């Protein structure tokens, strides 16, 4: 491909930032929904499970839209990366998609199902679990990178086997995502239900354990990356190590604040601190990767479309993302109130 | 067939299967949202409660359909990269861009106003609600434009050059306004309206057959019938224009659609016979048998009595599309177009004879049954239309520029087959569930008891932020949860 002009390089960079924002927003927003779904697997009362689904009724669709938008940006701006990475991730993505669809259908149809509620609830919980796990596996597999096969006259593409996404690291990131997302779900349930509701109290009991397991998962992931990936280690332990120290301090601060908020029953604050921590770590990860999009395969610039145009860029950045952002924030604000389980069924 | 060839075939079927299941839902979204807007507008103008009850009732069906469209649609977006990775890499600069626009205009814009439309009843003033419904309708039509633009570019790819394996856009205007774009868009837009009208007619006919809410449902039935009287011929006209375009830009596809192998007869005269039904012979060089009408092909394609229409023999063997699917699918679609028009004529004739009055309508049982079953017609038309179009484009994924075999991802046969099995299972389940719950909502019937919403307190009408506060009786579930549930 021809090299990009400097304006195009700047646009590719900005699109990359936008992509990161969308992915992070998706992880933060839908993460809490998915975690609540995983949590619902352990909730015995049918009405309480219903209440969990009802609590996200107005927002889950919009939260998921960030994933669609991220996919759109990837396809439009980094088509070479989209085409090869998605073939590489065939199995985890197909399974995650399957789960996402099952989850949507289970939620949409639960209130119409009467005899089959046990089934819709189980489908909801398991599909939340599967989405999270395979999403996490996909992230780990991308960090691992893949072998690109050059094709004469074509863009290099993925021609390896379907199973090469599997590595101890990618399986681990799958597990770690489940753990981290479960914590988000527990915090979400605490924040969304009236104090004193049994379901909120169950979530409160879970918090401590979920917190420590998630903490261990994060530490292990970071340490493992340092050992496994030269591109990460060389950045972290370089002369600019202080930058990474700042990220670390930021993350630790957010985690400590989250813990304090949970012990003081400030549930919304706890959830927000969780998100803050996740954002700090996400940004740190992107900064570590830079300029790679997929380590050793695609940089932001080698994977970008030769066709980046200022018009569509301005259109999207200037109007679309801000509007969508405002709308999503507004929606969450509208639905922020706490619920009681009696919202779980009509009467 | 080689293993690579077989894998390519299966991945085409994979993609065909998920698009076929996706296209079940969007047309109803597009068409019904327009109808919902018009009905709500009538309610605003006339203050007639009937319009309000009908809107609320059809909106519940709309939402179930919408959920299924989203679930199957998310798969579509990812499937381009998963199944057709090399096509995505090459065509991404254009096709990815257009799907990006669709994301903007449909998913953001529509998701926003859909929230207002579903949650907003009684929380925002009537005008504002009408405005929300209007925007939902507009957004889904805009979405159809972008997606069809991407697809029509694949049929008539103008404005690009292929450089180093990537389609670079030289002329955006030429690419966006490619020769097929307008007709393709209007054909599906009108198909969507046609489908939604048939849908409304079928649901209404069901109530009339059961003699339930006769007065309420007579109105939409009559309106649907009279609208179809205009829409059905319009669709036939647009379909004919579409055929003209195919003849001009994709002679191979047209020849396949008509099972037209020989351009000239052995005596050198143009071969102008049109095959009504036919079956290709084993080696694929002609028809084993056919029933044909002389001169009809020339009339249909060239609008002349006796001129040559290029047959498959003018196309190199490697570039010929399969014949059976385009040939029969095309005939099925044309039959559907005609049948819907006949149905509308029947209804109009009954109305003209005064038999569609509250007192007499339920006696026309055969017509009502036909209207009920008629809902299958436009669905079938849309399916067969797409099959004609997509199979007729073969062996190209981007007509004349990129072969389908060069567009598929490298994957194993096992993988391609597992995808098919997995998504078949899921999408059959999803469409089964959608159908089941739609019929359930229909059986429950419209809610005639809860009070008609008003503008709400004056201060609330202007202060939007409270529009979506939790409804009085929330039920678990997704957006559909907020439609009333009364059992
Ligand atoms: C209610 C649905 C419906 C009905 C009644 C018709 N069509 Fe259609 N047809 C479609 C739904 C459709 C479609 C789903 O909308 C397609 C596929 C893609 C597209 O743009 O339109 C299509 C494609 C399509 C094509 C292929 C265009 C191409 O290859 O690029 C032709 C030639 C026609 N149609 C012609 C007709 C004719 C002559 C009809 C009337 C007798 C007709 N259609 C009725
Ligand atoms: C924007 C809209 C669409 C795009 C961009 C698109 C693109 C594609 C692509 C990339 C393929 C695989 C390569 C090929 O076999 O040609 C394909 C195949 C196919 N698509 Fe579409 N498609 C679109 C809409 C649809 C819809 C809505 C249907 C609905 C029924 C459909 C039916 C098919 C079929 C039947 C095939 C298989 C063709 C064959 O195997 O011979 N397509 N399409
Ligand atoms: C083959 C390519 C297609 C792709 C990749 C695709 C993609 C999508 C996606 C991702 C969604 C869900 C959006 C959400 O999350 O809200 C969706 C829904 C929808 N699609 Fe498609 N689609 C395709 C074909 C079509 C066609 C041919 C039409 C219409 C003619 C269409 C019109 C719509 C509409 C109206 C919806 C309903 C819901 C909505 O707009 O969000 N799509 N599509």
Could you read off the pLDDT of B116-132 as tens digits, one per residue?
788 777 777 788 889 88
The C-alpha torsion from B55 through B57 and B59 to B60, rounded to 10°, is 170
Q: What is the pLDDT of residues A150-174, one digit of tens each?
A: 777 777 777 777 788 889 999 999 9
Looking at every residue in chain A, the average pLDDT score rounds to 83
Question: What are the φ/ψ torsions at residue B120 (nearest 5 degrees)?
Answer: -80, -15
Which residues of chain A make contact with B441, given a CB cutoff of 8 A? 112
| B239 Cα to the center of ligand 1, angstroms | 5
Check residue B447 and give its pLDDT.
Answer: 83
Query: B175 to chain A, minimum CA–CA distance in Å?
Result: 13
Q: What is the pLDDT of residues A281-310, one digit of tens each?
A: 999 999 888 888 888 888 888 888 776 666
Q: Which of B22, B62, B139, B151 has the most ligand 3 atoms within 8 A of CB, as the residue to mutate?
A: B22
| B328 Cα to the center of ligand 3, angstroms | 27
Q: Which residues pair with A294 in a beta bridge?
A: A298
Question: What are the φ/ψ torsions at residue A294 (nearest 5 degrees)?
Answer: -125, 115
| B391 Cα to the center of ligand 2, angstroms | 8
| B311 Cα to the center of ligand 1, angstroms | 21
Residue B338 has pLDDT above 50, yes or no: yes
Q: Which residues pair with B166 in a beta bridge?
A: B163
Residue A86 has pLDDT above 50, yes or no: yes
pLDDT band at B172; cut points 50, 70, 90: confident
Positive or negative torsion for Cα B42, B46, B47, B48: negative
Rounded Cα–Cα distance for residues B39 and B34 (Å): 9
| Cβ–Cβ < 8 Å for A109, B437 | yes
For B469, name the nearest residue in chain A, comparing CA atoms only.
A334
Check whether the bond before B395 is cis (ω within 30° of 0). Answer: yes
* Region of poorest pLDDT, from A281-295, B132-146, B310-324, B426-440: B310-324
Ligand (nearest to CA of A70): 3
Rounded Cα–Cα distance for residues B403 and B420 (Å): 22
Q: Which residues pair with B161 in a beta bridge?
A: B168
Which residues of chain A make contact with B77, given a CB cutoff of 8 A? 68, 71-72, 75
Do residue A75 and residue B96 have CB atoms under 8 angstroms apart? yes
Which residues of chain A make contact with B111, given a CB cutoff of 8 A? 61-62, 65, 327
pLDDT band at A318; cut points 50, 70, 90: low
Q: Which of A57, A72, A80 sits opposite B103 (nearest CB)?
A: A72
Looking at residue B3, the DSSP 8-state letter turns out to be H
Residues contacting residue B403 through CB under 8 Å, at least 6 positions apart: B395, B396, B397
Q: What is the pLDDT of residues B7-45, one digit of tens each?
A: 888 888 888 999 999 999 999 999 999 999 999 999 988
Query: A309 to chain B, minimum CA–CA distance in Å?
Result: 10
Q: Which of B80, B94, B411 sits opposite A90 (nearest CB)?
A: B411
Do residue B82 and residue A108 have CB atoms under 8 angstroms apart? no
Residue with the nearest Cα to atom 11 of ligand 1? Answer: B382
SS3 of B268, please? coil
End-to-end CA distance of chain A: 63
Residues contacting residue B402 through CB under 8 Å, at least 6 positions apart: B87, B90, B91, B162, B167, B396
Do residue A327 and residue B112 have CB atoms under 8 angstroms apart? yes
For testing contact with chain B, the best of A112, A119, A322 (most B CBs within 10 A): A112
| Cβ–Cβ < 8 Å for B70, A61 | yes
Query: A43 to chain B, minimum CA–CA distance in Å?
Result: 15
User: How many H helices and E strands in chain A?
Assistant: 13, 4
Rounded Cα–Cα distance for residues B104 and B109 (Å): 7
Q: Which of A49, A153, A307 sits opposite B169 (nearest CB)?
A: A307
From residue B253, alpha-carbon distances to B333, B385, B390 in Å are: 16, 13, 9
pLDDT band at A311; cut points 50, 70, 90: low
Query: A32 to chain B, minimum CA–CA distance in Å?
Result: 16
Q: Which residues of B196-209 are buried (b: 16+ CB within 10 A; e: fewer)?
A: bbbbbbbbbbbbbe
Question: What are the φ/ψ torsions at residue A138 (nearest 5 degrees)?
Answer: -60, -45
ipTM: 0.71
Please give the share of chain B, as a percent, with pLDDT higher than 70: 92
Looking at residue B106, the DSSP 8-state letter turns out to be I
SS3 of B289, please? strand
Ligand (nearest to CA of B185): 1
Query: A241 to chain B, minimum CA–CA distance in Å?
Result: 37
Ligand (nearest to CA of B239): 1
For B467, name the nearest residue in chain A, comparing CA atoms only.
A334
Which residues of chain B make contact with A65, given a CB cutoff of 8 A? 107-108, 111
Q: B338 in ligand 3 pocket by Cβ < 6 Å?
A: no
Nearest to A328 by CA among A13, A61, A35: A61
Residue B5 has pLDDT above 70, yes or no: yes
For A104, name the nearest residue in chain B, comparing CA atoms only.
B71
For A303, name the nearest residue in chain B, comparing CA atoms only.
B89
From residue A259, alpha-carbon distances to A183, A251, B410, B416 in Å are: 12, 12, 47, 47
Check residue B20 and give its pLDDT.
Answer: 93
From residue A93, alpha-carbon distances to A89, A105, B78 in Å are: 6, 18, 8
Plot region of B14 (φ>0 → left; ψ -120 to 50 → alpha; else → beta): alpha
Q: B144 in ligand 3 pocket by Cβ < 6 Å?
A: yes
Please give the share of chain A, as a percent, with pLDDT higher than 90: 27
pLDDT band at B475; cut points 50, 70, 90: very low
Rounded Cα–Cα distance for residues A292 and A287 (Å): 9
pLDDT band at A28; cut points 50, 70, 90: confident
Which residues of chain B make contact with A100, given a CB cutoff of 8 A? 71, 74
């Amino acid at each position: 491909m021809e090299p990009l002009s400097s304006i195009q390089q700047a646009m590719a960079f900005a699109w990359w930032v936008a992509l990161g924002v969308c992915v992070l927003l998706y992880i933060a927003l839908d993460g809490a929904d998915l975690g609540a779904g995983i949590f619902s697997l352990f909730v015995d009362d049918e009405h309480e499970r219903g209440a969990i689904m009802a609590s996200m009724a107005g927002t889950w669709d919009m939260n998921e839209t960030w994933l669609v938008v991220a996919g759109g940006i990837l396809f439009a701006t980094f088509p070479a990366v989209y085409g090869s990475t998605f073939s590489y991730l065939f199995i985890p993505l197909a399974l995650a998609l399957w789960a996402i669809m099952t989850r949507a259908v289970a939620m949409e149809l639960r209130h119409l199902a009467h005899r089959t509620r046990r089934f819709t609830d189980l489908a909801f919980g398991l599909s939340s679990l599967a989405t999270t796990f395979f999403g996490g596996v996909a992230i780990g597999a991308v960090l691992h990178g893949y072998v690109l096969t050059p094709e004469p006259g074509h863009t290099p593409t993925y021609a390896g086997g379907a199973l090469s996404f599997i590595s101890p690291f990618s399986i681990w990131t799958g597990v770690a995502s489940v753990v981290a997302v479960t914590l988000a779900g527990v915090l979400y349930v605490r924040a969304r239900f009236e104090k004193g509701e049994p379901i909120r109290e169950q979530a409160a009991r879970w918090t401590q354990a979920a917190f420590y397991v998630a903490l261990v998962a994060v530490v292990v992931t970071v340490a493992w990356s340092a050992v496994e990936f030269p591109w990460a280690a060389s950045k972290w332990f370089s002369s600019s190590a202080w930058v990474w120290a700042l990220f670390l301090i930021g993350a630790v601060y957010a985690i400590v604040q989250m813990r304090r908020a949970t012990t003081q029953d400030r549930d919304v604050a706890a959830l927000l601190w969780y998100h803050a921590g996740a954002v700090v770590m996400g940004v740190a990860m992107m900064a570590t990767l830079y300029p790679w999009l997929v380590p050793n395969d695609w940089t932001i610039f080698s994977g970008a479309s030769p066709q980046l145009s200022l018009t569509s860029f301005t259109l999207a950045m200037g109007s679309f993302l801000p509007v969508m952002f405002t709308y999503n924030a507004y929606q969450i604000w509208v639905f922020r109130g706490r619920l009681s389980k009696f919202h779980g069924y009509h009467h | 067939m080689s293993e690579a060839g077989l894998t390519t075939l299966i991945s085409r079927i994979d993609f065909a299967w998920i698009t076929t299941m996706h296209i079940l839902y969007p047309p109803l979204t597009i068409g019904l949202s327009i109808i919902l807007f018009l009905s709500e507008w009538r309610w605003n103008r006339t203050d007639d409660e009937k319009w309000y009850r009908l809107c609320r009732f059809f909106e519940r069906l709309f939402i179930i359909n919408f959920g299924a469209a989203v679930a199957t649609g998310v798969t579509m977006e990812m499937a381009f990269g998963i199944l057709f990775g090399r096509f995505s890499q090459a065509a991404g600069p254009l096709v990815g861009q257009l799907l990006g626009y669709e994301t903007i205009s449909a998913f953001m814009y529509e998701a926003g106003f859909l929230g207002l439309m579903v949650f907003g009843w009684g929380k925002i003033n009537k005008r504002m609600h009408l405005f929300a419904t209007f925007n939902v309708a507009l957004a889904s039509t805009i979405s159809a434009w972008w997606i069809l633009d991407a697809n029509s570019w694949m049929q008539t790819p103008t404005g690009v050059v292929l450089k180093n394996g990537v389609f670079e856009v030289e002329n955006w205007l030429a690419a966006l306004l490619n020769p097929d774009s307008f007709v393709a868009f209007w054909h599906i837009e009108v198909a969507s309206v046609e489908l939604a009208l048939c849908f409304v007619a079928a649901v209404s006919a069901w109530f009339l057959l059961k003699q339930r809410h006769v007065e309420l449902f007579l109105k939409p039935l009559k309106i649907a019938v009279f609208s179809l009287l205009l829409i059905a011929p319009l669709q036939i006209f647009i379909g004919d224009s579409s055929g003209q375009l195919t003849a001009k830009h994709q002679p191979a596809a047209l020849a396949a659609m008509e099972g037209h192998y020989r351009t000239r007869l052995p005596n050198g005269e143009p071969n102008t016979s049109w095959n009504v039904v036919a079956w290709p012979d084993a080696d694929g060089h002609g028809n084993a048998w056919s029933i044909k009408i002389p001169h009809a092909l020339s009339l249909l394609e060239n609008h002349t009595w006796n001129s040559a229409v290029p047959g498959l023999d003018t196309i190199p063997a490697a570039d010929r599309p399969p014949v059976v699917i385009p040939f029969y699918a095309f005939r099925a679609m044309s039959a559907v177009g005609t049948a819907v028009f006949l149905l509308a004529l029947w209804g109009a004739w009954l109305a003209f004879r005064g038999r569609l009055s509250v007192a007499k309508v339920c006696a026309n049982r055969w017509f009502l049954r036909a209207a009920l079953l008629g809902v299958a017609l436009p669905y079938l038309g849309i399916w067969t239309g797409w099959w004609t179009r997509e199979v007729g484009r073969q062996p190209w994924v981007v007509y004349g520029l990129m072969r389908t075999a060069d567009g598929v991802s490298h994957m194993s046969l096992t993988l391609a087959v597992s995808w098919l099995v997995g998504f078949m299972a899921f999408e059959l389940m999803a469409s089964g569930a959608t159908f089941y719950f739609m019929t359930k909502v229909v059986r429950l019937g419209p809610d005639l008891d809860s009070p008609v919403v008003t503008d709400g307190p004056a201060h609330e009408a202007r202060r939007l932020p409270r529009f979506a506060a939790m409804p009085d009786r929330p039920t678990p579930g997704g957006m559909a949860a907020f439609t009333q549930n009364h059992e």
